Every structure is written in C-alpha cells, then in structure tokens.
Amino acid sequence: MTTITLPASPRRPDWLPALLLLPALLVVATLFVYPLACSLLYAFRDEKLGVWGWGNFLRAWDLYARDIYFTFGVVLLSTALIGVLAIAIAGYLTLGENRRAVAVLRWLYRWPLFIPVVVAGQMMRTFLAKNGLMNNALMALDLIEPLQAISFLDWRGLVFTFVWKQLPFATLLLAGAMAALDRSMIEAARNLGAGRLRVLWQILMPQLRPTLLVSLILSFVAILSVLSVPMMINAGSPTMITVDMAWRVASYSDYGVANALGFISCAMCGLAAWFYLRQGLREGGRP
Amino acid sequence: MSFGAARFSASPRAASRSAASPLAVSSFAAAALRNALIVLLALCIFGPLTNLLLWTVTEAWYFPAKLPVSWGFSYWTRVFRPEAGAMLALGNSVLIALSTVALSTLVAIPAGYALAQRGLPLRSLFLLLFLLPQAFPAIAVHLNIARIFYGFGLNGTITGVVLVHALQGLVFSVWITSAAFAAVGSEPIEAARNLGASPLRAFCDVSLPLASPGIIASAIFVFLISIDEFSGTFFVGAPEISTLPLQLYSAATEGNYQIASITALLLLLPSILFMFVVERFLRADVLAKIGT
C-alpha cells in the first residue's frame, strides 16, 4: 500500500490570517476607531449653530479651566508616585536578601490588583472620611487630636485611591521584567562591591526603562479615564474632567463641550505618548 | 505623600546593611525600618478593606467613636429585599459578564491564533491596534458609542452593554490568547499533521486543548473587567440596565454607608475568588509571551 505523505508544513493560504483577524478588527473599528473619530471631530462642531469652529473649546475652557488643571495635576502626581513606589517594591522583590520579607511583600502588594475600581472608591470613602479608620487609628495612637480630624476626600483621596489601585499593575510588570533579566550581571556587580541601590539604578533600571514607561503611560491613561472614583470621592469643585463630561451629557445633552473635554484628555494622553516616543528615539539614536 | 518618600529611602539603608563591613546596630536598624515599611504598606492596603468590612456589619457608627457603636446584620436584609434592586443588578452583572466572556472568547480565539504565528505580516501593528482602546481615555469613546447606539436602539439593552464591555476586555482576551497559542509552539501541531490530521482537526484536537489554560485565564480577566466596568454601563446602559457598580454608586451617593459597603462586598467576592484561581491557569511560559 502506498501512502502519500503531506509536506511537513504546507503553505497556508494568505487570506486565512486576515479572515481569522477580521471579527476582532471589526470590533475595534466599529466600537473604538469610529466613536473616537466622532469624538475628535465633533469637538469642533457647534451643533446648535451648525458650524465648525473652536466654540466648544472656548466654552469648555470658560467653564472648566480649573478642573482641567486639577485633573492634570492629580493624574501626574499619581503616576509619579506609582513610578517611584513600583521601582522600590519591584527592586526589593528582585534584590532583597531577606527571603521572608520578599515573600511577604510579594503576597502583599498584589491585593488591590483584583479589587474593582468602584469598590476601591467605596473603601476610600469610608477609610479616608472624617470618621474613617485612618483618622481613628491616628487618634488612637495620639498622633492627632479629635478636633484635628479632617476628611481626606479631596485631591489627596483621589491620589491615594489611584496609587492604591494602580500600583500593583505597574509593580507586576516591572517585577516580571526584572525577573526575566539575566541574573549574572547582577551577581557580577554585587561581587564587585556595588550596593543594591546602585545595582537597581545603574544595572536594572536602564534595561527596564521601556517597561517602566509603558506601565506608567497605561496607568496615566487608566487614571485619566476613571469616572466612578472622582464621582464618589470628590464630586464637588474642583473635580476631574471625566465627571464634567458625564455631567454635560447627562444634564444638558451638550455633546460639544463634552467632546471638547474628551479631546483635551486625549491631548494629555498624547503628551504622555510623545514623551514615550521621544525617549524611545533618544535611546534608539544612542550608539 | 511622605509615605512614598519613606518607602523609597528603604533601599539605601537596606543596601548599607549588606556592605562590606556591616555593623550589627545598623543592620538591626535597617531590618527594623524594612519591617516598619512593610507593616505600613500592609496597613495602607488592608486598612480600607477592613473599614469596608466593618461597615457591612455596622448598625450605627458616629464620629468620635473609633469602632461601630452597635453591630448587626439588619442592613443585609434590606439589601437582599427584591425591591432594593441589588439582586436584579447582581443578576444583570453576571449575565452581562458571562455574555461578554462568550463574545470576546469567540472573537479572540481566531485572532489570537493568527497573531501567534510569528511570520504574520504587520503582526506588531495588529497587536498595537488591540492595545489602542487602553491608550485613549475611555470616557470620550463611551459617550460617543452611546450616541451611535442610540440610533440603533441599543441604548439601555443588555446587548449594547455587552458590546462596550467586550471592547474594554479585548486587549486582554486577544493578547493572552495569542500568548497561549504561541506557548504551544509548532511541534505538537506538526506532529499531528504528519500523522495525517487535517489543519482543522490539528487545531481542535491539539492547539486548542493545549492553549486552553491560557484561554481560561483570559476569560477570567474579561469577566473581572466586565463585572467592574462603570463608565460604559453608565453611558450605554443606564437607567434601564443597572449593574452592581451602578447600584453601588447610587447607594454611595445616597450616603448610606452600610448598603454601599454590602454591595461592594458582593462585587468584591468574585474578584478575590478569581485572584486565587487565575494563577493556576496563567502559567509562566504564557505570561512571558504576552504582548510579544
């Protein structure tokens, strides 16, 4: 009996991958690219007058200039703190010499990762309030008098919540990338007498700058997109522009100003992306 | 926040501990500082969680009292009454999350399989494309989706909410599924093909079962994203469709700490549960291939 053996890996038809990708690409095109294009375009459209122009931006600036500054400040501060703390925790996880401390830290830092953002918002509403557990603990330790107890549910509450929720994600990425590095270089530097801080700063971090930047940019955008936390923690003035956007749409059906604010938050993300690309070019250009 | 500065200064102290000639005193101080910082981190992480749990069993708690004045479960019965809407919201949340998982998995398996082939033209561009929804502020997109859906009658329907959630979860489902197929490698498939299996048979009997732990992990991520999603549901679903996050938000703005905290606990349980489960499915070889 003769059998015809097939070639080991026959050439696949070229259209097959395209066909397999099609459904996912359709989802992205219809539910992301198209609405985003609408958002960016209609920011320049005054629908009452039926004209194109800067009107929405001028109105958005008139009404919400303070909120725009506030949003940028809160997001930037949160991202910076996430960067510093993620480097510190991931660095200790990689270079720490006390096994028990490393194990405890590894178990500890991940918890907020899986806690829903809305739940984190509600936790902070109770924890950082005037009668929250934080003030109660400080009073119990005699660090503050009951009269000094204040609510932290303002920009500090927002920053605390965002750092709390987003830090494990950045740390996870960074620690994962550190674990994937070749340990022999670390050992060599340690043998030559380099301290752990120096190893972290001069050996690990230069190799991890892309990972760090990606994790920080994703954190920046994630924080900029959160609607529930500022609504729950800090709905008064000044607040974050996500709340203003929801308010413009829900109360006035004013898509023009809402889209202008959306354009501004996209511009903030664009700034972050530009920073990343510039860094990448500088590194690419280095001999 | 001084907390950040303090945590960061741990490293130089810790480094001096292991310097060439460590003094016993400085080594002890460094260890004490390290432990203090870990305790501080633990307090920052578990303090809010504890406060939430306390409120779920509180009957009354006013300002100067450091702990609840009276304890009890009376608010639980109020939350679980049918007219409170929490059970309906829970049902909606689970139904939407499961539908989102089904839709994303259906879309992500072919896409992930195609993206797992290294030779695919424009491969990294496609990977980047699926990341893009995470790289733009979601609110701007969501409020325009709501406007577009309005024309199709999808606002206030489960289908509309599922579509928005599927978009939010897409990068996780596609990237993790692709990593899972890439981790399988080409040898098992070539072996099956050499034994005479058709491409489809090799895919169904070899690739898919070997990649299934990674696919399950991606499903878990999508489920959690859907359960947690707020702004998309807020714009597309509300007020007709209420999910647990929206229910939690309205309880919180009404100022009822107990009901909000109990709703938050309902929302928290699947997340904590899956945290322990996901590690069993997301193996290191798959993890290392995500996004590459």
Domain ranges of chain A: 33-282
User: In Å, how far is B35's CA from the nearest CA of chain A?
Assistant: 8
Whether residues A227 and B264 touch (CB distance < 8 A) is answered with no
User: In Å, how far is A28's CA from the nearest CA of chain B?
Assistant: 7
Give pLDDT, residue B155: 87
Q: Is A141 helix (H, G, I), strand (E, B) or coil?
A: coil
pLDDT band with cut points at 50, 70 and 90 for residue B11: very low
Burial group, residue B65, by CB count within 10 angstroms (0-12, 13-18, 19+): exposed
Q: Which of A278-287, B38-47, B86-95, B114-123 has the lowest mean pLDDT?
A: A278-287
pLDDT band with cut points at 50, 70 and 90 for residue B26: confident
**Which residue did the predictor score with more confidence, B285 or A284?**
B285
pLDDT band with cut points at 50, 70 and 90 for residue A287: very low
Which is nearest to B260 in space by CA: A118, A152, A231?
A118
Burial group, residue A286, by CB count within 10 angstroms (0-12, 13-18, 19+): exposed
Give pLDDT, residue B226: 92
User: Largest alpha-carbon pair distance within chain A?
Assistant: 96
Give pLDDT, residue B14: 45
Span B154-169, pLDDT tens digits: 888 999 999 999 998 9
Whether residues B137 and A225 touch (CB distance < 8 A) is answered with yes
Give pLDDT, residue A285: 43
CA atoms within 13 A on the CB side of B34: 26
Q: Which of A5-9, A21-25, A143-147, A242-246 has the lowest mean pLDDT?
A: A5-9
Give pLDDT, residue B167: 92
User: In Å, how far is A5's CA from the nearest CA of chain B?
Assistant: 7
CA B27 to chain centre: 40
Span B205-225, pLDDT tens digits: 888 888 888 898 889 889 988
The ipTM, to two decimals, is 0.81
The token pair at A60 is 């958005």
Segments in A236-254 forming alpha helices (H): 241-252
**CA A189, A195, A200, A203 torsion-angle sign:** negative
Mean pLDDT of B111-122: 85
Enumerate residues 128 to 167 of chain A having a beta carbon within 8 A of any beta carbon in chain B. Answer: 128, 130-134, 136-137, 139-140, 146, 149, 156, 159-160, 163-164
Mean pLDDT of B41-51: 91
Enumerate residues 194 to 223 of chain A having a beta carbon within 8 A of any beta carbon in chain B. Answer: 195-198, 200, 217-218, 221-222
Cβ-Cβ contacts under 8 Å, B143 against chain A = 39, 245-246, 249, 255, 258-259, 262
Q: Is B282 helix (H, G, I), strand (E, B) or coil?
A: coil
C-alpha distances in Å from residue A1, one per residue of A4, A8, A178, B76: 10, 21, 57, 75
C-alpha distances in Å from residue B97, one per residue of A272, B110, B177, B262: 32, 21, 18, 20
Q: Is A42's pLDDT higher than 70?
A: yes
Give pLDDT, residue A171: 92
Mean pLDDT of A82-111: 90
Nearest to A35 among B111, B141, B257 (CB): B141
Residue of chain A whose alpha carbon sits nearest to that of B16: A195
Whether residues A20 and B113 touch (CB distance < 8 A) is answered with yes
Cβ-Cβ contacts under 8 Å, A180 against chain B = 288
Q: What is the pTM of this model?
A: 0.85
Whether residues A266 and B137 touch (CB distance < 8 A) is answered with yes
What percentage of chain A carries pLDDT values higher than 70? 92
Q: Does domain A33-282 have CATH number 2.40.37.10?
A: no
User: In Å, how far is A280's CA from the nearest CA of chain B?
Assistant: 16
Q: Is A280's pLDDT higher than 70?
A: no
Cβ-Cβ contacts under 8 Å, B257 against chain A = 125-126
Q: Distance (Å, rounded) from C-alpha B207 to C-alpha B211? A: 6
Give pLDDT, residue A281: 65
Lookup result for tokens 């639980």 = B76
CA B38 to chain centre: 25
Burial B102-134 (b: 16+ CB within 10 A, else e): ebbbebbbbbbbbbbbeebeebeebbebbbebb
Give pLDDT, residue A152: 81
CB atoms within 10 A of CB A222: 20
Mean pLDDT of A103-123: 89
Whether residues B186 and A85 touch (CB distance < 8 A) is answered with no
CA atoms within 13 A on the CB side of B179: 23
Type of residue numbered A2: T
